[in-house]
Amino acid sequence: MDVQPLLAGEPSRVGDYRLLARLGKGSMGSVYLARSRGGRTVAVKVVRSDLAEDPQFRERFRREAAISRTVGGFWTAAVVDADPEAEQPWLATEYVPGPTLHQAVAENGPLPEQTVGALAAGLAEALGAIHAADLVHRDLKPANVLIGPDGPRVIDFGISRVMSSSAMTATGTFFGTPGYFSPEQTEGSEVGPASDVFSLGAVLVFAATGHGPFGEDGTVAMLYRVVNSEPEVGDVPASLRPLVAACLAKKPAERPTPTMILDRVGGAGPQGRQWLPAQVTALIDENTTRLQSMDEVVPATPEPQSPRPPTRAYDPVLPEPPVAPPPRQAEAAGPSHPRTASSKPAGAPLVRKDNPGAVFRTGRRSGAVAYAAMVFLLAYGAYASRGAIEIAENARVIFLLGVGCLVLSGVLSLVRALLPGLRLKVNSDGLLVSRVGLSRQIPWNHVSRVGLVGSGKKQTVAVWVAAGTPAPRSTWWHRVRGYHGGTKVFPVGSTGGLWTRRWQAKRMRDALYRYAPRVYDARLL
C-alpha cells in the first residue's frame, strides 16, 4: 500500500470515520485509510466533488451502494457503510492489509501455480457472491483484487457501474481497463455475469505470467485482439490452462459459471497463510506493521462536543493541533514514511521539491530596515555637524572612521533586510531549506528527532541527526546554530507580531506532526 499523509485541505473525518492517511486516488475520487469509532480499520472512498454535483451520478451511487452492502461471501471486501447524501458521497469497506494483485506481481513477478489456483477458487467464490446480489462487477482487474493474508478480496464491485454510466463516458473516454474487459463490454453490447468470468480468466493469466492475455499496451490494436484474437495463455501452468482458456471464450454462453469454476478448483482454495509465496507475505507483514505504527502516532481526535448534525456531513480538516504528543521512538532514526529517500532511485533528490507539503517563510526584517535608517541618520548627523564641534586634528581620523563604521553596519543591515527570506518546505520526504535558488535537504531518514525549541521571538525548528549522519553546517545563505547536541535550522518566531508568531508555530507543529510523526518530539522547548 502506498500510504501517503493527508494533505492540508483534505478532510480529517468522513462520517464517523477518522481519516489516517491516503491510500490512492482513482477516477471516482480518493481512497483513505480510516478508523471507525470502535477501532476498526476501513478504506473510505470519497467521491470527487464535480461528480458529487451530478444528480444522476448521485442517484446511481445511492442505488449501487445499497446493493453492494448486501454482497456477502468470504472473498469480497465487505462494504460496511456508505453515505450517498453527504456533500461528497462516500463508501467505507473493510480494510485489507495487503498489496493489490497488480502490485504484488509488479514487485515480485508472477505468482506460483498453487497461489494462482487458490486465487482462481477465491475469486470465483467472490464473483458468485457478487452475482447472487444481482450485481455485475464490470471492472475485475489486478488492481481491484487485494491480496489478504488469508485469501484474496475483490473490491470496487457495483461502484464500477456507477462510473461506467456516468458523464465521463459520454465524453468518449473509455472507462476501465481494456485488457481485462470482455469482448461484449469492449464492443458496448449488453453485459452480464459471464463478462466478469472473462475478466477473471484475464486476471488469472496476469497472476500466472505477469501480463494480460491480450498484452498490456491498452491500444486500439489490443481492443481488436480482445474481440477477435485468441488469448496468449501458453505461459500459464498446464493445470490451469484449460480453465483459463474456457473463461476467456469469446461467447459469453461458452464460459463456465463461478460455480463450475469452483467445481474444478474449489479444493485448491486459500488455506491459511500458506497460499502465498514468502515475498508477498512479507509485503503484507510490512503493511500490518506500518498500520500498527500508525496507531501509535495518530492520536484520537476529540469527538465534537455538540451533538452531531442529523445529516452526516463531510467535515473539513480539523484546525486543532494534535491533542497528544506522539511517543518518541527508539527506532526514530528509521524512515518515518514509506516514501523515503532509501526507496528512491540513486541520484534522485532526497527531499523532492514537488512533493506537496507545508511551506514557511521568514519575512524581510522591518527591524533591520529601521536599524539601518537610524544608523544612516546618526552617521549623517555626525558628519554634518563635524564643523560645529571642535575635534582635535588627531581625533579627526578616528571620528571619520567611526562614521564610516556606522555607515557600513547600516549597509550590512540593509542587505540583510533586503535579502529574500529563507523558505522551508516540510513534506513526507523531509525538510527543504532554500533561499534564492540555493537549497539544503534534511531527509527524515537522517533525522532522529525534530521539534520546536525556544519561545517567543526565539522559536526555532531544531533537528537532531541520526548516528553516522553529518549535522547541517552554517553556510553564508543559511546560518545554523548548535542546540544541546542538535542544530537550529529555521526560525519560526522571528517575524510578525504575537499572533502571527503563535499561528506560525502552530502550523509548524502540525506540519512536523503530520509529515514526521515518528521523529517529531512535541515535548521539546
In whole angstroms, the minimum distance from the beta carbon of 95 to ligand ADP comes to 4
The Cα 249–Cα 245 span in angstroms is: 7
Among 83, 125, 156, 429, binds ligand ADP (CB under 6 A): 156
Q: Closer CB to ligand ADP, residue 42 or residue 191? A: 42
Selected range binding ligand ADP among 93-101, 290-298, 312-320, 402-410, rule: CB under 6 A: 93-101
Number of residues that bind ligand ADP (CB under 6 A): 20
Q: Closer CB to ligand ADP, residue 68 or residue 445? A: 68
Catalytically active residues are: 139
Closest CA to 368 of 407, 413, 421: 413
In whole angstroms, the minimum distance from the beta carbon of 13 to ligand ADP comes to 18
The Cα 464–Cα 446 span in angstroms is: 9
The Cα 312–Cα 308 span in angstroms is: 8
Residues 6+ apart with CB under 8 A from 212: 179, 180, 202, 205, 206
Q: Closer CB to ligand ADP, residue 93 or residue 494? A: 93
CA distances from 328 to 14, 115, 297, 397, 472 (A): 29, 40, 9, 60, 22
Closest CA to 97 of 317, 284, 290: 284
Among 19, 20, 21, 28, binds ligand ADP (CB under 6 A): 28
**Residue 96 in contact with ligand ADP, rule: CB under 6 A:** yes
**Residue 265 in contact with ligand ADP, rule: CB under 6 A:** no
**Residue 46 in contact with ligand ADP, rule: CB under 6 A:** no
Annotated binding site for ATP, which residues?
Answer: 45
In whole angstroms, the minimum distance from the beta carbon of 181 to ligand ADP comes to 15
- Cβ 49 vs Cβ 88: under 8 Å: yes
**Residue 442 in contact with ligand ADP, rule: CB under 6 A:** no
In whole angstroms, the minimum distance from the beta carbon of 94 to ligand ADP comes to 6
C-alpha cell at 431: 525538510
The Cα 75–Cα 195 span in angstroms is: 19
Among 52, 91, 155, 197, binds ligand ADP (CB under 6 A): 155
The Cα 260–Cα 270 span in angstroms is: 18
CA distances from 258 to 123, 269, 345, 364 (A): 9, 13, 43, 69
N-to-C CA span, the chain: 36
Q: By Cβ distance, which residue is nearest to ligand ADP?
A: 26
**Residue 199 in contact with ligand ADP, rule: CB under 6 A:** no
C-alpha cell at 35: 478508523
Q: Closer CB to ligand ADP, residue 26 or residue 237? A: 26
The Cα 495–Cα 34 span in angstroms is: 37
CA distances from 449 to 434, 465, 510 (A): 21, 7, 15
Selected range binding ligand ADP among 19-27, 376-384, 435-443, 444-452, rule: CB under 6 A: 19-27
Per-residue contact flags (x/-) with ligand ADP for residues 97 to 126, judged by CB under 6 A: ---x--------------------------
**Residue 24 in contact with ligand ADP, rule: CB under 6 A:** yes
C-alpha cell at 293: 505504527
**Residue 26 in contact with ligand ADP, rule: CB under 6 A:** yes
In whole angstroms, the minimum distance from the beta carbon of 63 to ligand ADP comes to 19
- Cβ 5 vs Cβ 428: under 8 Å: yes
Q: Quote the DSSP letter at residue 180.
A: G
The Cα 496–Cα 169 span in angstroms is: 51
**Residue 93 in contact with ligand ADP, rule: CB under 6 A:** yes
In whole angstroms, the minimum distance from the beta carbon of 234 to ligand ADP comes to 29
The Cα 206–Cα 442 span in angstroms is: 41
Per-residue contact flags (x/-) with ligand ADP for residues 313 to 342, judged by CB under 6 A: ------------------------------
Selected range binding ligand ADP among 18-26, 483-491, 507-515, 516-524, rule: CB under 6 A: 18-26
For residue 94, which phi and psi values (nearest 5 degrees)?
-50, 135
Annotated binding site, which residues?
Answer: 45
Q: Closer CB to ligand ADP, residue 158 or residue 256? A: 158
Q: What are the residues facing 432 on neighbouring strands? A: 425, 441
Among 14, 19, 34, 43, binds ligand ADP (CB under 6 A): 43
The Cα 21–Cα 5 span in angstroms is: 5
Selected range binding ligand ADP among 23-31, 206-214, 441-449, 470-478, rule: CB under 6 A: 23-31
| Residue 262 CB neighbours (<10 A) | 19
C-alpha cell at 276: 502465498
User: H or E segment at 278?
Assistant: helix 278-297
Among 19, 20, 21, 31, binds ligand ADP (CB under 6 A): 31
Q: Closer CB to ligand ADP, residue 106 or residue 436? A: 106
Q: Closer CB to ligand ADP, residue 15 or residue 117? A: 15
In whole angstroms, the minimum distance from the beta carbon of 19 to ligand ADP comes to 13
Q: Closer CB to ligand ADP, residue 144 or residue 504? A: 144
- Cβ 69 vs Cβ 79: under 8 Å: yes
**Residue 452 in contact with ligand ADP, rule: CB under 6 A:** no
- Cβ 509 vs Cβ 502: under 8 Å: no
Selected range binding ligand ADP among 22-30, 239-247, 276-284, 397-405, rule: CB under 6 A: 22-30
Please give the residue ranges that form the binding site for ligand ADP (CB under 6 A).
1, 23-24, 26-28, 31, 43, 45, 77, 93-96, 100, 143-144, 146, 155-156
